[in-house]
Structure 1
Amino acid sequence: MAERIVSPGVFTKETDLSFLPQGISNIGAAVIGPTQKGPAFVPTVITNMQEFEERFGGLYKKSYVPYTVQEYLKSASTVTIVRILHTGGYKADYVNFAVSGSGKGSGTPHQ
């Protein structure tokens, strides 16, 4: 690094910022939903449909996930899958949600 004296008591030091750290890897879109098999709640990067079928199962009518992955991989190199488990055994007594934001009418539900 170059260092030079500008005037008595004043120093300038050049810092090389040309080094770029390695960025995050390409993970593609994230598809979250139920699949036939595979690790649950673990983000898994998939690069082709064969790999998806081996880890998560093939196409089946009960989930949109395999079809979404199949179509997405036609135009992209990777997709991240997060398998959730089917919720057939769960029943909700009520749904609670909160609305927030800024601007006109923020946080006020409209009919």
Structure 2
Amino acid sequence: MSDLFVLQTRLIRTWFELIEVYIATVATVSARMPIIAAAASGFGDKRAHRETQVMVAEKLRAASEGAEAGALESAKVALRVLTGQNHPVAVAGHMIDVAAAATRPARRKVRANARRLTSSR
């Protein structure tokens, strides 16, 4: 029963992380929209063009790091399941581990971008 309580606690914590990342995403997008529009229209300065390049590059890097971390965590989960940790609650916890590992790079980047872009306003 305690395993189920731990799983429920992890799900609630994940939900709050999702809300935090959503708020950071909205802040980042709203801060970047004028910069992207300026760069796309040709009226942007060097900062606008640089920010647009950084934005694209960091998305690719975060996706790559997330895929790598997710694949590594998936291998760890497969090993745990093969060694007997195959109770449904344990497997659900393992799936949360995979999702957390795969999204960790993007979550970190979104939070850092929100801090960086909103503090300069």
Normalising to structure 2: TM-score of the pair?
Answer: 0.28
- Please identify which structure carries the higher helix content: 2
Normalising to structure 1: TM-score of the pair?
Answer: 0.29
Which structure has the greater CA radius of gyration? 1
Q: More relative contact order in 1 or in 2 (CA 8 Å, sep 6+)?
A: 2
